[in-house]
């Protein structure tokens, strides 16, 4: 059993792990304890320890509302949710980067509303992380403090339960950006970032990352290498084919889950739902 103890010590397992079922390999009497991926101690029972705050979106936030499910934006994000959940059933996808080629193309609104749509499903715990340290907006949309947040946690100034907030009445938690830092990219290169994302996906079914635009900073490219997939947000009449091409090339065309087209005219967005829901709710008994 000395080899087993040595293997456990090198892997960081505790002596109690010796009581777990092990797979024995002969003839050299080697043993591997198969306990699945380990979660960091500070993330255990995290959902039971974090502060709950009211859902108080900013008046101009344009967030989807679970109490008005038949509005067109809600329908669109539920469609996106359905497609992502289908992909999740085919492959292990839990951590998603939501970004855009350039600024002002709607990537933050896409990230926020996707996270909200996922959280509307029963027991579908979702966390929205504001990794756009350069121009964070998530805290403004939910009218919460920017700090403490991710940067505070990464710098050791706050614990994980101090920076994560749960939105009351939903399965959504948010992780604000935190205090401003001089060089965000250097902070994102810390091993603690990968550890954070790895542990969050053991607590939450979906981890949605709002990141800076691809063509203006390397942050999203780096975070995409730590995530399971990337969703690219583009805006009709604004995003050029060239910028889309360069953005995809910057990701090396890897793990791109799809593209969200933003900026459709209100009439086009609502027209395909108006007839159906008007007819449905006006039918005689």
The strands making up 126-130's β-sheet, listed across from edge to edge, are: 51-53, 165-167, 172-175, 126-130, 206-210, 95-99, 229-235, 256-262
CATH value at residue 61: 3.40.50.300
Does 175 share its domain with 95? yes
Report if residue 279 sits inside a domain.
no
Does 121 share its domain with 253? yes
- Which of the 8 DSSP states describes residue 54? -
| Three-state DSSP state, 198 | helix
Report if residue 208 sits inside a domain.
yes
Report if residue 221 sits inside a domain.
yes
Report if residue 282 sits inside a domain.
no
Does 32 share its domain with 64? no
Does 55 share its domain with 131? yes
Does 30 share its domain with 168? no
Does 64 share its domain with 120? yes
Strands 206-210 and 126-130, bridge-based pairing: parallel
Report if residue 93 sits inside a domain.
yes
Report if residue 283 sits inside a domain.
no
Does 46 share its domain with 140? yes
Whole-number Å distance between alpha carbons of 11 and 34: 11
Are 55 and 170 within 8 A, CB to CB?
A: yes
Report if residue 280 sits inside a domain.
no
Nearest to 138 by CA among 171, 99, 177: 177
Does 240 share its domain with 218? yes
Reading the block at residue 74, the tokens are 């809600």
Encode the chain (285 residues) as per-residue pLDDT tens digits. 333 333 334 434 443 433 333 333 333 333 333 334 688 999 999 999 999 999 999 988 888 876 666 665 788 888 899 999 999 999 899 999 999 999 988 899 999 999 999 999 999 999 999 999 999 999 999 999 999 999 999 999 999 999 999 999 899 999 999 999 999 999 999 999 999 999 999 999 999 999 999 999 999 999 999 999 999 999 988 999 999 999 998 887 668 898 888 876 555 444 444 333 333 333 443
Q: How many CA atoms lie within 13 A of 160 on its CB side?
A: 21
Does 28 share its domain with 80? no
Does 47 share its domain with 64? yes
Q: How many other CB atoms are there within 10 angstroms of residue 107's CB atom?
A: 30
Report if residue 54 sits inside a domain.
yes
Sequence length of the chain is 285
CA distances from residue 271 to 68, 73, 113 in whole angstroms, order as listed: 17, 12, 21
As beta bridge partners, residue 170 has none
Does 223 share its domain with 114? yes
Does 77 share its domain with 197? yes
Domain count within the chain: 2
Domain that holds residue 82: 42-271
pLDDT at 274: 37
């Amino acid at each position: 059993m000395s080899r087993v103890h040595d293997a456990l010590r090198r892997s960081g397992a505790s002596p109690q792990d010796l009581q777990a079922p092990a797979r024995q390999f002969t003839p050299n009497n080697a043993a591997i304890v198969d306990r699945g991926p380990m979660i960091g101690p500070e993330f255990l029972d995290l959902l039971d320890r974090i502060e709950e705050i009211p859902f108080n979106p900013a008046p101009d936030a344009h967030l989807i509302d679970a109490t008005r499910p038949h509005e067109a934006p809600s329908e669109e994000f539920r469609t996106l949710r359905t497609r992502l959940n289908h992909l999740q059933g085919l492959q292990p996808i839990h951590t998603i980067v939501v970004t855009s080629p350039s600024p002002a193309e709607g990537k933050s609104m896409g990230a926020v509303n996707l996270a909200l749509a996922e959280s509307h499903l029963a027991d579908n715990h979702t966390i929205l992380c504001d990794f756009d340290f350069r121009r964070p907006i998530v805290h403004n949309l939910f009218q919460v403090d920017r700090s403490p947040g991710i940067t505070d946690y990464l710098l050791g100034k706050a614990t994980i339960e101090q920076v994560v907030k749960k939105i009351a009445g939903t399965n959504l938690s948010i992780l604000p950006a935190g205090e401003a830092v001089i060089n965000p990219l250097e902070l994102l290169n810390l091993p603690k970032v990968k550890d954070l994302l790895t542990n969050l996906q053991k607590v939450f079914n979906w981890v949605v990352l709002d990141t800076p635009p691809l063509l203006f900073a390397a942050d999203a490219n780096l975070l995409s290498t730590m995530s399971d997939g990337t969703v690219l947000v583009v805006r009709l009449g604004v995003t050029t084919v060239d910028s889309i091409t360069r953005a995809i090339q910057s990701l090396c065309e890897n793990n791109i889950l799809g593209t969200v087209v933003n900026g459709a005219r209100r009439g086009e967005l609502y027209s395909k739902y108006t007839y159906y829901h008007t007819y449905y709710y006006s039918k005689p008994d």
